């Protein structure tokens, strides 16, 4: 037998206060934070799918971040040089396509 015929996803997901305009966050500890003001189940599902892409990017070593910058595929982007919600950022494109 090659493995179980089902997939278990045990990603911790927490609803909490997030800064204005932030719907979700993929945390470096492997969890997903969702803005507690989000009540629509379909929107929550969409946010979770989006943030899971970022978790996979981090797991694969493509994405990392700290307070001052985001590093994607070895290139460092200072946070002051971009809008965090920009769908055209190279690490955001795959997440928005999910």
pLDDT values of the chain reduced to their tens digit, one per residue, 98 residues: 567 777 888 999 999 999 998 999 999 999 999 999 999 999 999 999 999 999 999 999 999 999 999 999 999 999 999 998 899 999 999 999 87
Tell me, yes or no, if the pTM score tops 0.85.
yes
**Whole-number pLDDT of residue 6:** 77
Q: What are phi and psi of 64, to 5 degrees?
A: -150, 160
Rg, C-alpha atoms of the chain: 14
DSSP letters along the chain, please?
--S-SS------EEEE---TT--EEE-TTS-EEEETT---HHHHHHHHHHHHHHHHHHHTTSEEE-SSEEEETTEEEEGGGS-TT-TTSTTTHHHHT-
């Amino acid at each position: 037998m090659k493995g179980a015929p089902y997939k278990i996803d045990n990603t911790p997901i927490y609803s909490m206060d997030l800064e204005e305009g932030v719907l979700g966050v993929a945390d470096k500890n492997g969890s997903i934070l969702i803005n507690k003001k989000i009540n629509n189940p379909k929107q929550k599902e969409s946010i979770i799918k989006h943030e899971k892409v970022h978790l996979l990017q981090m797991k694969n070593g493509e994405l990392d971040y700290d307070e001052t910058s985001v590093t994607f595929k070895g290139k460092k982007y200072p946070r002051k040089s971009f809008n965090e919600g920009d769908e055209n950022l190279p690490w955001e494109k795959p997440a928005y396509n999910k």
